Amino acid sequence: MAFDMSKFSLQGKVALVTGGSYGIGFAIANGLAAAGATVVFNDINQELVDKGLAAYEAAGIKAYGYVCDVTDEDAVQAMVKKIAAEVGVIDILVNNAGIIRRIPMIEMESKDFRKVIDVDLVAPYIVAKAVIPGMMEKGHGKIINICSMMSELGRETVSAYAAAKGGLKMLTRNICSEYGQYNIQCNGLGPGYIETPQTAPLRELQPDGSRHPFDQFIRAKTPAERWGTPEDLMGPALFLASDASDFVNGQVLYVDGGILAYIGRQP
Ligand code: NAP
Ligand code: GCO
């Protein structure tokens, strides 16, 4: 039986990547564009959107950028309507926008905890809710929620982030459960430790020029013995966005250099 490679093509598809002006979202959007998708992204202010538009242009991609805070439901509903009118009805949603606060739990204020839950868990629900009706009408849709190692593991200082990303894994399964019958696939992509501005504080060189202890810890904990790059996520995201994954639903695909499979090196 011959495999139809065109299943990996995203020609004619409209993909919204939230928070996609740089970092992981930007890389994923580049991968989707290379497979033929029209890329739409949003970010929280005009400056970031302009920076993103310039970066896509430099990469040879015609992207559409919108200013929108993904925690603001009215703004998200308005953006999704605008995208339908100006670009087309969304076929692929990548819930990528996210934040982290690294504060020991008993020192954290509940308003900070709530803020992380709002951006990393409630917003993916808000955006998915806004795009699913259009996907149901079209008869297909792909939703990729950007999860994390912290969808499975805990660590000091990231209680809100872990609670949100663990919740996002279950939101993924629930969207699959509720809308799988409409040919909508919702999967998670779980990056390991990736070199982006979000993790820069964990990789800073020490004043004496040595590696940050967390950097050493991650290299030792990763069978690949390196941090991931945003580019490492492009192929896995393309798979989940394409027809090649039409019977994959409710899963989280971890792209972590093997961290979750490994007990760690004996000291
Ligand atoms: P990043 O560099 O901080 O980028 C996240 C993007 O989301 C930024 O453009 C950010 O804008 C935007 N954003 C934040 N709040 C928003 C809001 N309310 N509305 C709209 N946009 C908003 O992060 P990244 O490292 O590329 O991470 C992207 C995603 O991957 C996140 O969900 C993150 O949790 C996840 N992740 C990252 C890693 C990693 O190792 N880096 C690993 C696993 C999962 P601002 O610049 O204004 O904040
Ligand atoms: C941290 C990190 C993370 C990662 C990522 C792991 O402080 O431990 O920032 O949580 O960014 O989500 O997959």
Q: Give residues (CB < 6 A) around ligand 2.
A: 100, 102, 148-150, 155, 158, 161, 191-193, 198-199
3-state DSSP assignment of residue 205: coil
Q: Which pLDDT band, with edges at 50, 70 and 90, does 11 fall under?
A: very high
Ligand 1 centroid to residue 96 C-alpha, Å: 6
- Mean pLDDT, rounded, for 72-98: 98
Task: Please report the sign of the dihedral spanned by the C-alpha atoms of residue 155, residue 156, residue 161, residue 162.
Answer: positive
The confidence score (pLDDT) of residue 80 equals 99
Q: Which pLDDT band, with edges at 50, 70 and 90, does 267 fall under?
A: confident
Give the range of the structural domain holding residue 166, as residue numbers without chain letter: 5-194+228-261
What does the pLDDT look like over 15-25, one tens digit per residue? 999 999 999 99
Ligand 2 centroid to residue 27 C-alpha, Å: 18
Nearest CA to ligand 2 atom 4: 193
Only one residue has tokens 């790059």, namely 229
Determine, yes or no, domain membership for 95.
Answer: yes
CATH at 64 = 3.40.50.720
What does the pLDDT look like over 156-192, one tens digit per residue? 999 999 999 999 999 999 999 999 999 999 999 999 9
Determine, yes or no, domain membership for 200.
Answer: no
- Predicted TM-score (pTM) of this structure: 0.98
Show Cβ contacts of residue 16 under 8 Å, excluding neighbours closer than 6 positions: 40, 41, 42, 80, 83, 90, 92, 93, 94, 127, 131
Ligand 2 centroid to residue 126 C-alpha, Å: 23
- Mean pLDDT, rounded, for 144-153: 98
Determine, yes or no, domain membership for 214.
Answer: no
Quick check: 217 pLDDT over 90? Answer: yes
- Give percent of the chain with pLDDT exceeding 70: 100
Determine, yes or no, domain membership for 267.
Answer: no
Q: Which pair of tokens denotes residue 204?
A: 């800073």
What does the pLDDT look like over 26-38, one tens digit per residue? 999 999 999 999 9
Determine, yes or no, domain membership for 162.
Answer: yes
Quick check: 234 pLDDT over 90? Answer: yes
- Mean pLDDT, rounded, for 140-169: 98
The confidence score (pLDDT) of residue 54 equals 98
The confidence score (pLDDT) of residue 37 equals 98
Task: With CA atoms as reference, report the closest residue to 14 among 68, 80, 73, 96.
Answer: 80
Please give the tally of structural domains in the chain. Answer: 1
